[in-house]
Amino acid sequence: MMTLTINGKEYKVKYGYNSFADSDLLERVMQVGFLLNGAGVQSDSDILGMGKMRDIFCIVRELLFEGFKKENPVESIQAVGDLLDTYMDETPKDEDGNPTEDRGIFALFQQLGEELSEQGFLTDFINKLNQAAEMESEKVTKMPQDHKKKKPKK
């Protein structure tokens, strides 16, 4: 189970089926995950250009809101946003002031995706997508062979 320590308090992230039954959150996670995992994205500026930055921020906030419900409920999604601000502000730094831990939005999105997989929510989808991709690649497109037919004699 994933745990975030914010302001000295541990917040456990645990998902349940109700977390995803009434929303399209899981589908949105999958879409952004595929985008970030190479579907034409070379840099952060590509994501900015596609208008996906807002989606990523919203998805991370919603994932945490849903993940906190079971173990340590938070009163609102805006409160989760405030916790995220604090979490980012508390990034550990070395003696030179450089971050010793990546607490950026992309790193957090990746950690939450891994947690979803570990809890079994993305595993089924990923397996189905892989199977579909394999089936699609096995299909052979047949070229029309009309040009090889003998022309009828007149």
Residues 75-123: tens digit of each pLDDT: 999 999 999 999 999 999 999 999 999 999 989 998 998 899 888 888 7
User: Given this model, what pLDDT does residue 150 score?
Assistant: 66
Tell me if 9 is assigned to some domain.
yes
Tell me if 64 is assigned to some domain.
yes
Tell me if 7 is assigned to some domain.
yes
Tell me if 58 is assigned to some domain.
yes
Higher pLDDT, 17 or 84: 84
Rounded Cα gap, residues 67 and 115, in angstroms: 10
Query: What does the mean pLDDT of the chain come to?
Result: 82
Which domain does 20 fall in, by range?
2-125
Name, in order, each residue with C-beta under 8 angstroms of 63's C-beta and a sequence gap of 6 or more.
Answer: 13, 25, 29, 112, 116
What is the total count of domains within the chain?
Answer: 1
Tell me what percent of the residues of the chain surpass a pLDDT of 70. 70
Do residues 25 and 138 make contact, with C-beta atoms less than 8 angstroms apart?
no
> What is the DSSP code (8-state) at residue 93?
B
Tell me if 150 is assigned to some domain.
no
Dihedral sign, CA of 99, 29, 72, 81?
positive
Do residues 106 and 48 make contact, with C-beta atoms less than 8 angstroms apart?
no
Tell me if 130 is assigned to some domain.
no
Tell me if 41 is assigned to some domain.
yes
SS3 content of the chain, % helix, strand, coil (to 5): 55, 10, 40
Least confident window among 4-13, 22-31, 123-132, 139-148 = 139-148
Tell me if 134 is assigned to some domain.
no
Name the token pair of 84.
């995220």
